[in-house]
Amino acid sequence: MFISLIAATLLAGEAPRLPTRIGFASAGELALRCAETSPAGATYCFTYIAAVYDTVRAYEQWLHLREFCLPYNVTQSDLRRTFIDYLGTHPLDRSGQAASVVVAALKQHYPCAVAVPPPLSAPSPAPKPSLRTPR
């Protein structure tokens, strides 16, 4: 039956649809999307890089460390440019996983100038008053 459907599709002049590849995008693939001028390409690029940034920030909070230190006024365009510029100087990284290369680019371009202390934890509860009366 399945073969009949493929044969009917081919006879009808339509190419069978292959499953979409599932897995990690390479840095080169992300760079191609970031170079697109279409709104869809730009949105994909900005969203991917923002998702990597948000994920790293979550891990930083959890692990009490800092991977990179962005200024407060950084824009999505700045992050995109940082990634593209990094690949320009590290062309062998194009075959690496896109998320890892985004982190490497941000670490190189936005290093932490000084050791950043871990985030403050919740304040300790106040000590309970003693039930003993002073003598």
Count of beta carbons in the 10 Å neighbourhood of residue 48: 19
Distance CA 24, CA 90 (A): 19
Q: What is the pLDDT of residues 14-26, one digit of tens each?
A: 444 444 455 688 9
Of 25, 29, 31, the C-alpha closest to 85 is 31
Distance CA 29, CA 25 (A): 6
Q: What is the pLDDT of residues 49-82, one digit of tens each?
A: 999 999 999 988 888 888 899 998 999 999 999 9
Share of the chain above pLDDT 90, in %: 51
pLDDT at res. 123: 54
Task: Round the average pLDDT of the chain to a whole number and report it.
Answer: 79
pTM over the 0.75 mark: no
pLDDT at res. 63: 86
Q: Tokens 């002073």 — which residue? A: 134
